Chains A and B, each alone.
Chain A
Amino acid sequence: AQSVSQHNHHVILSEAASLELGCNYSYGGTVNLFWYVQYPGQHLQLLLKYFSGDPLVKGIKGFEAEFIKSKFSFNLRKPSVQWSDTAEYFCAVNTGGFKTIFGAGTRLFVKA
């Protein structure tokens, strides 16, 4: 069965620290990959997505993610986090149909 694994459930960083959130999926075919973010009290919203082409994808608010096909990974990065990045982050995979599989989420807390 297809699955998505997010390695860290909780991450605590100080402002200006670098961030990397791990995401691995289990599916051998073509995938569409997403990172969604849920800020406290707000909707889930799309942070960035990968369909094809350049495996390094840039999203909103300075986030980026790199698709490494050989590792089945799509890790999310940001060079310098801010207090406003405190949120829950979800990695998600779509294999071309109408279903998308979500990871369990990573709660990020950034200390001011």
Chain B
Amino acid sequence: DGGITQSPKYLFRKEGQNVTLSCEQNLNHDAMYWYRQDPGQGLRLIYYSQIVNDFQKGDIAEGYSVSREKKESFPLTVTSAQKNPTAFYLCASMGETGGFGDYGYTFGSGTRLTVV
């Protein structure tokens, strides 16, 4: 079945450490996204990538970095510069259907990051 796989499901990080969250998709989608979900704030866009080797900052990119070396993969690194990294992180992809813009997302199951 096609979909998005995020790993790990739970991640604990010590203060001052960088951690990388994995996101892989087999949907052949061009566009991929990272969102952060906090209670009462909805989903806030961290980074997105429309094509391989290109990515753009979202609304809350500070303290995060990404790469897009392959179409299937869009890993997110949470650096020590991120002041409040404890959150639920969602990866998504978007494709087109039937020649028309679908603009609907497919989401992964998320990674819950906790700083200890």
Task: Name A's B-contacting residues (CB within 8 A).
Answer: 4, 6, 9, 32, 34, 36, 42-46, 49, 51, 90, 94, 96, 98-100, 102-105
Contacts and interface: CB of A to CB of B under 8 A. Distances in A.
B79 to A, nearest CB: 23
A98 B93 CA distance: 10
B108 A43 contact: yes
Interface string B28-42: 000100010000111
A6 B40 CA distance: 11
B104 A46 contact: yes
Contacts of B31: 98
Contacts of B86: none
A48 to B, nearest CB: 10
Contacts of A90: 42-43
Nearest to A95: B103
Main secondary structure of the interface of A (DSSP, over half): strand
Contacts of B42: 4, 6, 90, 102-105
A4 to B, nearest CB: 8
B104 A34 contact: yes
B23 interface: no
Contacts of A4: 42
Interface residues on B, range: 20 to 34
Interface in B9-41: 31, 35, 40-41
Contacts of B90: 44
Given A90-B42, A103-B42, A44 B50 contact: no
Contacts of A49: 103-104
A4 B40 CA distance: 13
A2 to B, nearest CB: 11
Contacts of A44: 90, 92, 105, 107
Most A CB within 10 A of own CB, among B35, B45, B92, B107: B107
B101 interface: yes
Interface in B65-116: 90, 92, 94, 100-101, 103-105, 107-110
